[in-house]
Chain A
Amino acid sequence: MTSDNLQTGLYDTHVSLGGRMVEFGGWDMPVQYPDGILAEAKAVRTAAGVFDVSHMGRLYLSGPKAGEFLDWVLTGSATTLRVGRARYCLICNENGGVIDDTIFYRLAEDRYLLIPNAGNRAAVVAWFRRWIDERFSPGCTMEDVTITTGLIALQGPGTPELIDKIADDQLSAMRTFSWAESTIQGTPIFVGRTGYTGEDGFEMLVQSNDLVSVWTALTDAGAAPCGLGARDVLRLEAGLPLHGHEIDEKTSPIEAGLDRFVRAEAEYVASDILQGQMNNGVPRKLVGFTLPGRSAPRAGYSLLDRGETIGTVTSGSYSPTLDTSIGMGYVLERYVELGAVLDLDIRGRTVTVTVTALPFYTCPRRT
């Protein structure tokens, strides 16, 4: 394979494991390994799976104005986040459209780590650069360490036990959406109790040249290598949006049902628009729906009521965990009602779908 795509420090490992490499967000990434997407998804729901997510970006924001800057460009608050904690929120443009969604970590009083999506890293960096130069410089610097570092996601109910076996601290004691620094067999890791599968788990930032040793320690301890295909199925089951599908620059977080990640009381980019939408409603909303059988709704398919198109599918799949087909899509606001029955056009076949509460799948709460 010759390409101009970026490759993570685990590229050769993926190929030697039989990973099927595809382009995603400008990177060559494994979509699946020989066991297949269904087996990989099952490993994450029942035991432990490990994903190379080094294609996602890693940006440090530092300086006395870093918090104030992030408060301006994010829908969630950075300055009220305690050191040691992480938060999910959106980065919106001036129209309230979503440039990206992100998890960010407060590392110190004046230092943050922010994780943009692979395909949006350049847009996020450009957007941040513009606002830093315009309003927060000097006092806020941005450092993109995506190329020199890597990110590994360990996900599944078996991960607390697994990570305790190989890490040099008891990481199972970490709280959800907290971070810590530790070592795995002597290799330093920055670890967050975060993820994108709806399952318990850990995400580890390491130096690029430490990726193979950490990955190997995890797989030797029993974690199943998992690709982007399983990741997409798992996030869909968990009702988590994917940029380019449920959210994009023309979609607001309020339409996507992400109100709880949007500050109702502060002033920041597009806050007037977003808060207006929160108060006054929006004409279309994201819903989840299920349909019997295994034929999947796919992005772009139409949702109909008595022959009239009233919505569009953004994502869909057969759900191995629920053993039925599931999807998400936008519908006119009056159809946002649990139990509402709609028609779905699957390449000319009409099937009935039922609007269902999101997420489709919730992992049993750990104590």
Chain B
Amino acid sequence: MSSPDDRKYTKEHEWVMIDASAANTAVAGITDYAQDQLGDIVYFELPNVGDNVAHLGKMGEVESVKAVSDLFSPIDGVVTEINEKLLDHPELVNEDPFGEGWLIKAIMADAAPLDSLMSAADYDAFTAGN
């Protein structure tokens, strides 16, 4: 499946998209490729609302049955919301990684780092080579 072209992508397989519903806010998650590689996801360790997250800094962890991986923030800013549904239903990320399975929303301190991330086409080419 090709990644949606309404957002940007990191080499660590996170996505980030401007959230039109709130000023200076972006929403982030992990990609379909990432959820597929992880397999059944059972647990997320996410930052708290109010925490600072740094662009490409560690923001949490994701655990699948077989593996644990660090999550990196594509956003530079302050967390305003986390996806509470994932506490009881982490499998939402397997089912809908680009939609219902979003991870965090944050107010951007600086939107410039987003420009350095990959486009959907670049990301799909990047993962095709893996």
Binding site for B on A (CB under 8 A): 20, 31-32, 36-39, 229, 233, 293-296, 298, 317-318, 347, 349
Contacts and interface: CB of A to CB of B under 8 A. Distances in A.
A37 B68 contact: no
B66 A229 contact: yes
A207 B37 CA distance: 34
- Tell me the interface secondary structure of chain A in the complex: mixed
A20 to B, nearest CB: 8
B90 to A, nearest CB: 7
B65 A347 contact: no
B12 interface: no
A295 B43 contact: yes
Given A294-B90, A347-B61, A31 B43 contact: no
B63 A37 contact: no
B117 interface: no
Contact of B43 (A32, A233, A294): A294
Interface of B: 39-40, 42-43, 45, 61, 63, 65-66, 68, 90, 94
A233 B45 contact: no
Contact of B63 (A229, A233, A295): A295
B43 A37 contact: no
Given A229-B39, A294-B43, A295-B45, A38 B65 contact: yes
Contacts of A32: 39
Contacts of A37: 39-40, 65-66
Contact of B68 (A20, A36, A347): A347
Given A36-B39, A36-B40, A229-B39, A298 B65 contact: no
A36 B39 CA distance: 6
B65 A317 contact: yes
Nearest to B68: A298
A36 B90 CA distance: 14
17 contacts: A20-B39, A31-B66, A36-B94, A37-B40, A38-B65, A229-B39, A229-B65, A294-B42, A294-B43, A295-B42, A296-B43, A296-B63, A298-B68, A317-B65, A318-B43, A347-B61, A347-B68
A233 B42 CA distance: 13
Contacts of A39: 40
Contacts of A349: 45
A317 B43 CA distance: 11
Contacts of B39: 20, 32, 36-37, 229
B43 A293 contact: yes
A294 B86 CA distance: 12
Given A31-B66, A233-B65, 17 more contacts: A20-B39, A38-B40, A38-B65, A229-B39, A294-B42, A294-B43, A294-B63, A294-B90, A295-B45, A295-B63, A296-B43, A296-B65, A296-B68, A298-B68, A317-B65, A318-B42, A347-B68
B32 to A, nearest CB: 13
B107 to A, nearest CB: 27
Nearest to A232: B66
Contacts of B94: 36
A72 B29 CA distance: 58
Nearest to A22: B66
Choose among B45, B63, B90 the residue with the greatest number of A CB atoms under 10 Å from its CB: B63
Nearest to B88: A294
A101 B51 CA distance: 49
